């Protein structure tokens, strides 16, 4: 019996030891570590006891028993640490740990001393017999043995306590794993009690240490309680936010979570099974395939969006054993996405399409429609910046919202509208539905509604008939805006149509401004001169009129480019060039002794923005050392009127320097006779409009008479432009005009021709 038992103990010990070395080495969790310590301490205990049983002498037997008792203390410490880690009920502090170690150390020391002292203060070994075999067993136990016992029982209590607490406090599902550990511990205790009570010679309970070590290892590392898994899985499905409905192979609903009951508004399993049958549509489960789709449902009168998936469940042999549906409520995501999409495609302020989205939708709409059936209507507010500046951003915003709302009303089926930028809106609509009167009315209404008594908002609309649906929407809008440009200055015209002439104009404008720089540097600009003649027929000089000698187009008259250059501000460079050419010519004449002749040069209203007129002209006469009297300056009436006070000062300074200033085109603008008295100019150039044949010729002549007599009285010289007939000359001479300029005398001519004609006689 003894031999069988010791062999069993040793085999068991070796097996457990090997297990402890192999398993869980890489697992560094504290619990696994505690289990490994148990798996090392348990075989040591068993080996020590086996060694004691087979000891040949009393001394070695006592030594082995002492080691056995000490190691079993250590094993209990390991178990205690394991139990604490496993249950997390309480922790022991370092001080308590030290006390534990000390107690065990004292116990171990006493055991060893017991061997050498030969006093039986703990235990004494004696020879025993077991079925004819003799071995040393514990023959007597001394009083101090109780100390060892106390340690053992104390530690058992400490181990059992947290397990019991856990069993009482944990959810039912978890109790099992604590039960199993507690039961294995109980087995050891029971076996031990049995050994002591029955005064057995061999302690069979030692084997239970090994069993317990293996059990702990098995329950913690290898065995995952099936019930726990199932419990966790079913509770996670139960608590899911998604609906889950499971079916067996026959199509019977075997489970549905509470969310699913809400989704199907079901009380029993009937609705689930109906849904299943509808989806299967007569197929067998084995014929169906996993699938995903979207569904919308009305829940509490609100639309909700679901992502539904169907999955088959198969066993390990790939046989279909059931299936389930899962409905994920993605309403929040869908609504968030919709809100984001709205933000990306709509204008924040007005809530209508933004430019990019408007372009996209128009592109599709126009492409799908019959060619030529749509038109693009774009709007622009005159001086919108002023509205913001004067009335504030809030009023400005209100105006814009107002316009957006009007667009909404005007847009019927098939129309697309949006806000292109700041104060620019566009609507793309079927041509047949565009009614200019309706738009004009709406524009007027917006003006009345948005303005104040002092400021009325003025809006213009440009229309482009979309003939070619393949051009970019931005180009369609550009064309509509090109049309607006033609009426921008008007207060009465509010709608303009685009035609191809406009585009050609704009293209040729662009071409011209592109060519300008090189043309100027290349000397393509020169001036012609038109003689100015006194009443007595004497040549006094002439007006410098610029000409572009274009390498391809020949001579281009100023009417074709002055306006464009004024728009872009390039006019200033051109004028400075002409002024310089005129001064150079005057210097040449001076050198030839021809100092009685003047040249009048034109100053564009735009030149005043871009150049310091005083500095430029004084600089020029000083550079060419000519008399300022010979360079006459023509300033248009409109330039003077645009900033009367400032121009007055400038004109006076120029006159003080010695220049003669002429007011060009007098009578073409808003001139008033009353204004003449404040005007410090030397000469009045009366606009040729007064000489044109009109129904009111008599009245024109009367006015002309008045102007001339008034300027005479104010000491101003009068030049009349555009004189074409002898009759005009006679009339003008009669009413007191001093100087004439016109085709009757001569057309503008190249300077060389002028010189030849008048100087070489
Ligand atoms: P403007 O200053 O009023 O110049 C007079 C224009 O009337 C000239 O046209 C001239 O050719 C034209 N003219 C002269 N006599 C008669 C006539 O008897 N009958 C008719 N029907 N027309 C006559 P042009 O040279 O084509 O110049 C047109 C306008 O271009 C000028 O009007 C002036 O405003 C502008 N311009 C010409 N040269 C320059 C320049 O160097 N700088 C600037 N800024 N503007 C210039
Ligand atoms: Ca002129
Ligand atoms: Ca003129």
pLDDT for the residue numbered 21: 79
- Please determine, for residue 170, whether its predicted confidence score (pLDDT) is greater than 90: no
Q: How confident is the model at residue 25 (pLDDT cuts 50, 70, 90)?
A: low
- Please determine, for residue 708, whether its predicted confidence score (pLDDT) is greater than 70: yes
Q: Residue 412 carries which DSSP code?
A: -
- Please determine, for residue 761, whether its predicted confidence score (pLDDT) is greater than 80: no
Is the minimum distance from the CB of 61 to ligand 1 under 6 angstroms?
A: no
**Is the full-model pTM beyond 0.85?**
no
Is the minimum distance from the CB of 720 to ligand 1 under 6 angstroms?
A: no
Residue 558 CA, ligand 1 centroid: distance in Å = 8
Is the minimum distance from the CB of 578 to ligand 1 under 6 angstroms?
A: yes
The rounded distance, in Å, linking the Cα atoms of 292 and 12 is: 56
Q: Where are the beta strands (DSSP E) in 315-373?
A: 320-329
pLDDT tens, residue by residue, 441-450: 888 888 777 6
User: How large is the average pLDDT for residues 320-344?
Assistant: 93
Is the minimum distance from the CB of 557 to ligand 1 under 6 angstroms?
A: yes
Half-sphere exposure of 482 (CA within 13 A, CB side): 20
CATH architecture under which domain 2-232 falls: Up-down Bundle (1.20)
Is the minimum distance from the CB of 256 to ligand 1 under 6 angstroms?
A: no
**For ligand 1, atom 23: residue with the closest CA:** 722
pLDDT for the residue numbered 573: 95
Half-sphere exposure of 391 (CA within 13 A, CB side): 19
Q: How many other CB atoms sit within 10 Å of the CB of residue 671?
A: 20
Contact in structure between 718 and 711 (CB atoms under 8 Å): yes
Q: Where are the beta strands (DSSP E) in 315-365?
A: 320-329
pLDDT for the residue numbered 671: 63
Among 402-406, 494-498, 582-586, name the most confident range. 582-586
Q: Where are the beta strands (DSSP E) in 422-476?
A: 424-430, 459-465
Contact in structure between 717 and 683 (CB atoms under 8 Å): yes
- Please determine, for residue 178, whether its predicted confidence score (pLDDT) is greater than 90: no
pLDDT tens, residue by residue, 386-414: 778 778 888 889 889 989 999 888 888 88
Residue of 721, 739, 744 to mutate, ligand 1, most atoms within 8 A of C-beta: 721
- Please determine, for residue 451, whether its predicted confidence score (pLDDT) is greater than 90: no
Q: What angle do CA 164, 168, 171 make, to 5 degrees?
A: 125
The rounded distance, in Å, linking the Cα atoms of 652 and 179 is: 115
Least confident of 609-618, 632-641, 739-748: 632-641
pLDDT for the residue numbered 225: 60
Q: CB burial class (10 A; 0-12, 13-18, 19+) of residue 310?
A: middle
pLDDT tens, residue by residue, 417-434: 999 999 999 999 999 999
Least confident of 247-261, 308-322, 487-501: 487-501
What is the bridge-based pairing of β-strands 424-430 and 459-465? Answer: unpaired
pLDDT for the residue numbered 87: 85
Residue 543 CA, ligand 2 centroid: distance in Å = 7
How is residue 631 written in tokens? 């360079």
Q: How confident is the model at residue 666 (pLDDT cuts 50, 70, 90)?
A: confident
Neighbours of ion ligand 2 (CB under 5 A): 602, 634, 664
Ligand showing the shortest atom-to-Cα distance for residue 532: 1
Atom index in ligand 1 nearest the CA of residue 607 equals 44
Tokens 């074709």 correspond to 560
In CATH terms, the superfamily for domain 510-759 is EAL domain (3.20.20.450)
Residue 689 CA, ligand 3 centroid: distance in Å = 10
User: How large is the average pLDDT for residues 219-232?
Assistant: 69
Phi, psi of 675 (to 5 degrees): -70, -25
Residue 544 CA, ligand 2 centroid: distance in Å = 8
Atom index in ligand 1 nearest the CA of residue 527 equals 41
**For ligand 1, atom 25: residue with the closest CA:** 545
Secondary structure (DSSP) of 491-518: SS--EEE--HHHHHHHHHHHHHHHHHHH
Residue 168 CA, ligand 1 centroid: distance in Å = 112
- Please determine, for residue 517, whether its predicted confidence score (pLDDT) is greater than 90: yes
Is the minimum distance from the CB of 396 to ligand 1 under 6 angstroms?
A: no
**For ligand 1, atom 13: residue with the closest CA:** 722
The rounded distance, in Å, linking the Cα atoms of 17 and 15 is: 5
Atom index in ligand 1 nearest the CA of residue 687 equals 3
pLDDT for the residue numbered 120: 63
- Please determine, for residue 193, whether its predicted confidence score (pLDDT) is greater than 70: yes
Name the 3-class secondary structure at 715: coil
Residue 646 CA, ligand 1 centroid: distance in Å = 26
User: How large is the average pLDDT for residues 355-361?
Assistant: 96
Alpha-carbon Rg of the chain, whole angstroms? Answer: 56
Residue of 544, 545, 689 to mutate, ligand 1, most atoms within 8 A of C-beta: 545
- Please determine, for residue 119, whether its predicted confidence score (pLDDT) is greater than 80: no
- Please determine, for residue 27, whether its predicted confidence score (pLDDT) is greater than 80: no
The rounded distance, in Å, linking the Cα atoms of 322 and 326 is: 14
Q: CB burial class (10 A; 0-12, 13-18, 19+) of residue 147?
A: middle
Computed over every residue of the chain, the mean pLDDT equals 88
Tokens 């129309």 correspond to 415
pLDDT for the residue numbered 143: 82
**For ligand 1, atom 41: residue with the closest CA:** 546
Q: CB burial class (10 A; 0-12, 13-18, 19+) of residue 342?
A: exposed
The rounded distance, in Å, linking the Cα atoms of 761 and 168 is: 136
Q: How confident is the model at residue 213 (pLDDT cuts 50, 70, 90)?
A: confident
Where are the chain's structural domains?
2-232, 240-334, 346-498, 510-759
Tokens 């025993």 correspond to 128
User: How large is the average pLDDT for residues 567-579?
Assistant: 92
Is the minimum distance from the CB of 665 to ligand 1 under 6 angstroms?
A: yes
pLDDT tens, residue by residue, 713-751: 889 999 999 999 999 999 999 999 999 999 999 999 999
Ligand showing the shortest atom-to-Cα distance for residue 685: 3
Tokens 């429609």 correspond to 369
Is the minimum distance from the CB of 742 to ligand 1 under 6 angstroms?
A: yes
Q: How confident is the model at residue 594 (pLDDT cuts 50, 70, 90)?
A: very high
pLDDT for the residue numbered 287: 86
Residue 403 CA, ligand 1 centroid: distance in Å = 44
Share of the chain above pLDDT 90, in %: 47
pLDDT tens, residue by residue, 127-147: 888 778 888 888 888 888 888
Least confident of 51-55, 142-146, 231-235, 276-280: 231-235
Q: How many other CB atoms sit within 10 Å of the CB of residue 22?
A: 8
Contact in structure between 66 and 72 (CB atoms under 8 Å): no
pLDDT for the residue numbered 626: 97
CATH topology of domain 240-334: Beta-Lactamase (3.30.450)
Q: How confident is the model at residue 175 (pLDDT cuts 50, 70, 90)?
A: confident
Q: How confident is the model at residue 455 (pLDDT cuts 50, 70, 90)?
A: low
Residue 522 CA, ligand 1 centroid: distance in Å = 23
Is the minimum distance from the CB of 380 to ligand 1 under 6 angstroms?
A: no
CATH of 346-498, one of 3.30.310.50, 3.40.50.300, 3.30.70.270, 3.40.640.10: 3.30.70.270
The rounded distance, in Å, linking the Cα atoms of 523 and 521 is: 5
Contact in structure between 323 and 313 (CB atoms under 8 Å): yes
- Please determine, for residue 659, whether its predicted confidence score (pLDDT) is greater than 60: yes
pLDDT for the residue numbered 672: 62
- Please determine, for residue 488, whether its predicted confidence score (pLDDT) is greater than 60: yes
Ligand showing the shortest atom-to-Cα distance for residue 667: 3
Residue 532 CA, ligand 1 centroid: distance in Å = 13
């Amino acid at each position: 019996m003894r031999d069988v038992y010791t062999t069993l103990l040793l085999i068991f010990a070796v097996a457990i030891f090997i297990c402890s070395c192999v398993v869980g080495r890489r697992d560094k969790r504290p619990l696994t570590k505690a289990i490994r310590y148990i798996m090392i301490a348990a075989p040591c205990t068993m080996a020590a006891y086996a060694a004691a049983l087979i000891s040949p002498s009393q001394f070695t037997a006592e030594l082995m028993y002492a080691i056995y008792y000490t190691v079993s203390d250590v094993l209990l410490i390991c178990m205690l640490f394991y139990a604490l880690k496993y249950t997390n009920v309480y922790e022991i502090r370092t001080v308590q740990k030290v006390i534990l170690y000390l107690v065990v150390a004292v116990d171990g020391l006493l055991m060893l001393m017991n061997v050498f002292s030969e006093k039986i203060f703990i235990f004494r070994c004696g020879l025993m017999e077991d079925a004819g075999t003799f071995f040393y067993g514990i023959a007597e136990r001394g009083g101090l043995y109780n100390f060892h016992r106390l340690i053992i029982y104390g530690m058992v209590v400490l181990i059992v306590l947290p397990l019991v607490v856990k069993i009482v406090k944990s959810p039912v599902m978890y109790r099992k794993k604590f039960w199993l550990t507690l039961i294995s511990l109980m087995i050891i205790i029971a076996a031990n009690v049995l050994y002591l009570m029955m005064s057995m010679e061999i302690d069979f309970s030692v084997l239970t240490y090994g069993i317990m070590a293996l059990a702990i290892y098995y329950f913690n590392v290898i065995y995952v309680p099936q019930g726990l898994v199932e419990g966790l899985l079913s509770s996670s499905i139960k608590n899911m936010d998604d609906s889950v409905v499971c079916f067996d192979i026959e199509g019977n609903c075997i489970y549905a979570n509470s969310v699913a009951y809400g989704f199907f508004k079901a009380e029993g399993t009937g609705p689930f099974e109906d849904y299943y049958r509808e989806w299967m549509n007569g197929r067998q489960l084995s014929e169906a395939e996993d699938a995903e789709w979207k569904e919308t449902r009305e829940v509490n009168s609100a639309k909700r969006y679901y992502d539904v998936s169907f999955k088959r469940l198969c066993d390990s042999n790939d046989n279909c054993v059931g299936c389930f549906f899962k409905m994920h409520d993605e309403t929040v995501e869908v609504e968030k996405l919709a809100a984001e999409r709205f933000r990306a495609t709509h204008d924040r302020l007005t809530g209508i399409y933004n430019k990019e989205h408007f372009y996209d939708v128009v592109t599709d709409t126009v492409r799908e429609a019959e060619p030529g059936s749509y038109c693009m209507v774009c709007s622009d507010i005159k001086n919108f910046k002023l509205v913001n500046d004067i009335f504030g951003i809030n009023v400005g915003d209100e105006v814009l919202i107002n316009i957006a709302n009007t667009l909404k009303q005007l847009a019927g089926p098939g129309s697309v509208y949006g806000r292109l930028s700041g104060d620019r809106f566009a609507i793309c609509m079927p041509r047949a539905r565009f009614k200019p009167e309706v738009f004009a009315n709406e524009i007027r209404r917006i003006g009345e509604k948005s303005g104040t008594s002092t400021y009325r908002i003025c809006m213009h609309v440009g229309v482009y008939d979309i003939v070619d649906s393949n051009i970019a929407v931005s180009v369609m809008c550009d064309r509509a805006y090109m049309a607006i440009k033609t009426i921008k200055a008007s207060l009465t015209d509010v709608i303009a149509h685009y035609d191809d002439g406009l585009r050609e104009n704009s293209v040729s404008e662009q071409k011209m401004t592109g060519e300008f720089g090189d043309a100027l540097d290349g000397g393509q600009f020169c001036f012609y001169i038109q003689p100015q003649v006194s009443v007595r027929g004497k040549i006094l000089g002439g007006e410098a009129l610029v000409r572009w000698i274009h390498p391809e187009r020949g001579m281009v008259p100023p009417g074709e480019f002055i306006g464009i250059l004024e728009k872009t501000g390039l006019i200033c460079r051109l004028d400075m060039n002409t002024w310089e050419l005129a001064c150079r010519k005057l210097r040449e004449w001076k050198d030839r002794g021809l100092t009685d002749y003047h040249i009048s040069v034109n100053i564009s209203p735009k030149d005043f923005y871009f150049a310091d007129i005083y500095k430029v002209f004084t600089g020029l006469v000083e550079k060419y050392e000519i008399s300022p009297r010979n360079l006459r300056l023509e300033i248009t009436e409109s330039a003077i009127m645009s900033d009367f006070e400032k121009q007055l000062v400038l004109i006076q300074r120029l006159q003080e320097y010695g220049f003669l200033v002429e007011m060009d085109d007098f009578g073409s603008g808003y001139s008033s006779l009353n204004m003449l008295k404040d005007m410090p100019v030397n000469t009045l150039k009366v606009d040729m409009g007064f000489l044109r044949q009109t129904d009111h010729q008599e009245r024109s002549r009367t006015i002309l008479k008045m102007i001339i007599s008034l300027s005479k009285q104010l000491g101003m010289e009068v030049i009349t432009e555009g004189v074409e007939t002898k009759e005009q000359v006679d009339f003008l001479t009669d009413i007191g005009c001093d100087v004439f300029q016109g085709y009757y005398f001569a057309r503008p001519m190249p300077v060389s021709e002028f010189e030849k004609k008048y100087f070489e006689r």
